[in-house]
Structure 1
Amino acid sequence: MSPGAKALTFSEATSSDAFAERFSGGRDDNLAQLIAAVVTHVHDLIKQFRPTKDEWRSVIEFLTEVGHASDERRQEWVLLSDLIGASALVEEINSRRPKGATPNTIRGPFFRADAPERAQGASISLDGKGTPLFFSGRVQDLDGLPIAGAEVITWQANAEGIYENQQPDLQPEHNLRGLFRTDAEGRFHYRSVMPGGYGVPDDGPVGRLLSAAGYPLRRPAHLHFVVRAKDFEPITTHLYDAGDPHLAEDALFGVRPELIRPFEAVREGQDARSVDFTFVMVRARTGRGT
């Protein structure tokens, strides 16, 4: 708004426009437009549902509680974004890839950037609790050529469906986490235990709210991966157990047909399982980093 211009009188009818016009002082960037659009939707919701002052205060208290529940081990804001499908939608918009490439999924709230590097064939299960799982992976490009030296970070829940950073006093530090590097043939392998499916945490404000509204909070059993290699777009994805009964109702919208694999018995009559997967990377577009 230029100096001296008359501002709109704020009213129920003009509230969104009265807010948006304050960005008109030469700013026409995406951020200003995004903020104005968000505020317009908030105002529209208020006009539609007409909350009382106490009801609106309860919304503010919920958002405050989400902030208080977030720390270096738990990110309640990420959980909120994940459960309402916002994270999955952002991934879908920003990581469209050609057919045959491994699709991105959301990273989830339990990722840790400090996963320790481990040798080929090492076990990431530091407490050894659960049914043994042998994972074999390969990283290649769209032409099927191996990508040597790729960095693969993996993490997962334990057999009870609980991540190490949810139980810092009960699980060893960095349990079920590891960083591996592919060999000259683009391969890597490690030992672990079968992950358990789980209910999304409902002990915080986000889980309590959605649970009370009847929203399904189950996640099927899965493994997480982040794959990085020079000159290629990074991959953040899951691998899902084909035998899990909750594949169709993943609370975080991460299941894709290409990411479902059978976790097969190693030998008949044995509990140990094995699974293998090939990650297909796409070369980074010019001007975009890896």
Structure 2
Amino acid sequence: MTKTAARNAVSAEQSAVEERLTRNVKGSFENCPDPRLKQVMQSLVTHLHAFVRDVRLTEEEWNKGIEFLTSAGHITDDRRQEFILLSDVLGVSMQTINVNNAAYGNATEATVFGPFFVEDAPEIPLGGDIACGAPGQPCWVEGTVTDTEGNPVPGARIEVWEADEDGFYDVQHTDGRVAGRAHLFADDAGRYSFWGLTPTPYPIPHDGPVGQMLEATGRSPMRASHLHFMVTAPGLRTLVTHIFVRGDGLLKTDTVFGVKDSLVKDFAQHPASAPAPDGRAPHRAWARVRFDIVLAPPGT
């Protein structure tokens, strides 16, 4: 018998001891006055204990796990949240989004929020430019906002944010710049358009414990190229999503599991000086993408 098999061989007596502890811990929450909190805590205990028993966790491994979580706490501050990063790379963030944004007809699918959203991004007019000097290839983004019955959603608020071609969001710089983010409102027919940057891939922050975990397990920290959206309108479900670039080699290995086939879009390339939809003739090559957004009813 191998060492692993021997460790996993559990006698009936030992199994009874372990099961008794799980029952006792779950029972300690029986008098919780909040039914939902009771459900969450008892389920958490059930699954945590099952994990410990399934892998036959050693005390050394338990200590390493505590050290890992402690390191995640130490590196977390008001600009960096290592625990969200951990949730992202374990797929917990994406699964929570799936649970809370059930598929509904032709509604646009949701995906991860990410750590780089900032409140009070500047407003731009339709056809405005969110780049604000950030480096990258210009990209014309256009589409409509409708409900699932095809009715336009005039005045829908559209928040957009993205990294520059070097893979950095404005908040990752220390000079207080605001670039690659803005909000705008759909017109009376639900149409919207703006200039942004053609998305490029970038790594999540990987200089901390989450990065060390990815390296130890042979995983990449790279995210597929994407552009973030958050769309809100009265009487409709808020949508947090992003679109991805068709042909990106990272679509199948996005480190936070955020890619959905319906969100992969064609970014058509155009040569310098080719007339753009707003009449401009950019002095460099530019891209164009269409993203029609469909909002689900509330409570779905």
- State TM-score, norm by structure 2: 0.84
Contact 2:134/2:180, CA 8 A, preserved across alignment? no
Counterpart pick for 1:271 among 285, 288, 291: 285
The residue number in structure 2 matching 1:193 is 197
Q: What root-mean-square deviation, in Å, do the aligned CA atoms of Structure 1 and Structure 2 show?
A: 2.2
Name the SS of the counterpart of 1:14 in structure 2. helix
For 2:146, the equivalent position in structure 1 comes to 140
Mean alpha-carbon deviation: is it higher for 123-132 or for 178-187?
A: 123-132
Partners of 1:132 and 1:192 within 8 A in 2: yes
CA contact (8 A) 1:74 1:110 kept: no
CA apart distance, 1:174: 2.3
Distance (Å, rounded) in 1 between the aligned partners of 2:186 and 2:42: 46
SS in 2 for 1:232: coil
How big is the shift at 1:95? 1.1
- 144, 152, 158: which is aligned to 2:158? 152
Q: 1:92 to 1:253 in 2, by over 3 A?
A: same
Task: Give the aligned partner of residue 108 of structure 2.
Answer: 102
Distance apart, 1:14 and its partner CA: 2.0
Describe the superposition over 1:217-239 as per-residue Cα deviations: whole angstroms up to 9, x where unpaired. 32111100000000111111110
Q: Distance in 1 between matches of 2:19 and 2:193?
A: 62
Shift in Å, 1:167:
2.4
- 8 Å contact from structure 2 (residues 135, 166) kept in 1: no
Partner of 1:6: none
1:281 paired to 2:295: yes
What amino acid sits opposite 1:46 in the alignment? V
Is 1:70 paired with 2:63?
Answer: no
Distance in 1, Cα, partners of 2:32 & 2:159: 45
Do residues 41 (structure 1) and 47 (structure 2) align?
A: yes
Query: In structure 2, how many angstroms separate the alpha carbons of the residues matched to 1:28 and 1:230?
Result: 31
Residue 210 of structure 2 aligns to a residue whose secondary structure is helix
Whether the 8 Å contact between 2:158 and 2:185 is mirrored in structure 1 is yes
Letter of the aligned partner of 1:39 in structure 2? V
Quote the offset at 1:34 in angstroms.
Answer: 1.7
Residue type at the aligned position of 2:148: L
1-side partners of 2:34 and 2:142: how far apart? Answer: 50
Residue of structure 2 in register with 1:242 after alignment: 246
- Contact kept, 8 Å, 1:160 with 1:195, in 2: the verdict is no
Unmatched segments (≥5 aa) in structure 2: 1-15, 275-283
Superposition deviation, residue 284 in structure 1: 1.8
Q: Which residue of 2 aligns with 1:111?
A: 117
Q: Please give the residue correspondences for 1:223-234 in structure 2 after superposition, counting only pairs within 5 Å.
A: 223-234=227-238
1-structure distance, mates of 2:155, 2:242 = 21
Q: Is the 8 A contact 2:32 2:38 kept in 1?
A: no
- CA-CA distance at 1:113 after TM superposition: 2.3
Structure 1: segments with no counterpart, 5+ residues: 1-9
Distance 1:26 1:72 in 2: 32
Aligned length: 275
Amino acid at match of 2:223: R
Identity, % of aligned positions: 35
CA contact (8 A) 2:170 2:178 kept: yes
1:253 maps to 257
Q: Whole-Å Cα distance in 2 between the matches of residues 174 and 220 of structure 1? A: 23
Alpha-carbon distance in 2 for matches of 1:256, 1:13:
40
2:251 partner letter: L
Partners in 2 of 1:230 and 1:40 — Cα distance?
40
Q: Which amino acid aligns with 1:218?
A: M
Query: Could you tell me whether the CA contact under 8 Å between 1:15 and 1:43 is conserved in 2?
Result: no
Q: 1:7 — aligned with what? A: none
Aligned 1:211-230 pairs, distance under 5 A:
211-230=215-234
SS at match of 2:146: strand
